[in-house]
Structure 1
Amino acid sequence: MELPDAAEAFLAGPHTATFTTLRPDGTPHVTPVRFTFDAATGTARVTTRAGARKARNVEAGGPAARVALCQADGFRWVTLEGRGSVSDDPVRLAEAVRRYAARYGAAPPTPPDLVVVEIAVDRVLSLNI
């Protein structure tokens, strides 16, 4: 996935984003998260608990689950949209934790039911980037 250098730099900074998933009744669930984005593969990652509403929403949506991450700073923002999936695979979790620590300077919380929501980004929107 090709992004302008300014967008990649913005997405590499230690910001938080809003993560939007859809509840089973179709209403949006929005929560602040820390995340990582790998532009080379077009993959965004959010670590969370398996029992968290966001993970349950993604799982309930099945393979068609659409999600969005929006990182904003003042009037600058980038939104990453795509299909989400939840994994507890140790290799995928280790990669998510490694990338998180590199971006934020510390490992994420590691509850016993840690999972990673992986987003296959297929749309990028931005303003003032």
Structure 2
Amino acid sequence: MSRDPRNPDPEYLDFWRERHVCTLTTPRPDGTPHVVPVGVTYDPEAGLARVIANRHSRKVAHVRAAGEAGARVAVCQLAGRRWATLEGLAVVREEPELIADAVRRYAERYERTPRPNPDRVLIEITLTRAMGKA
């Protein structure tokens, strides 16, 4: 079921506030999908999803390889029959205040603060599509 990523219904948004491991799918240089488990936060008001990551990870390399325009990516979560996918254009952000905000959002959703990491960056996804059955 297609949804408006900036105006989700309450059930869909509640599902994204629950604690679930998600997946991030990024394109490899040859176009094949690279899927890894991640923590994701969803901010419909800003039209963003956020993933904190290590700057040396493959997922970050894949997003950077797409250039300034961004990489087409998807994040997904599921629990039983409920599932939700957000799609959009991802870029890597290195501004300390944006990373700190993303860490705060992660800690709120996942009920734990990630350990300090000087190599942490933010994969910021500008949302273009939302789907799911929540």
Partner in structure 2 of residue 85 of structure 1: 91
Please point out which of 18, 21, 30 is paired with 1:16.
Answer: 21
Which residue does the alignment assign to 1:6?
A: 11
Question: Would you say 1:100 and 2:103 are equivalent positions?
Answer: no
1:38-75 deviation per Cα after TM superposition (whole angstroms, max 9, x unaligned): 11111100001001000110010121410000111112
Matches for 1:57-76 after TM superposition, within 5 Å: 57-62=62-67, 63-76=69-82
Q: Percent identity?
A: 45
Q: Secondary structure at the match of 1:18?
A: strand
1:29 correspondence with 2:34: yes
Conserved? CA contact 1:47–1:108, under 8 Å? no
Q: Give the corresponding residue for 1:114.
A: 120
Q: Deviation of residue 25 (structure 1)?
A: 1.1
Counterpart-to-counterpart distance in 2, 1:19 and 1:109? 21
TM-score, length basis structure 1: 0.95
Q: Please state whether the residue corresponding to 2:66 is helix, strand or coil.
A: helix
Shift of 1:111: 2.2
**Larger RCO: 1 or 2 (CA < 8 Å, sep 6+):** 2
Q: Specify every segment of 5 or more residues in structure 2 that has no aligned partner in the other structure, as ranges.
A: 1-5
Q: What is the alpha-carbon distance in structure 2 between the residues aligned to residue 114 and residue 53 of structure 1? A: 13
Query: Aligned partners of 2:52, 2:116: CA distance in 1, in Å?
Result: 9
Aligned partner of 1:46 in structure 2 is 51
Matching residue's letter, 2:81: F
Report the residue type matching 2:87 in the other structure. Answer: E
TM superposition shift of 1:110: 3.0
Give the TM-score taking structure 2 as reference length: 0.92
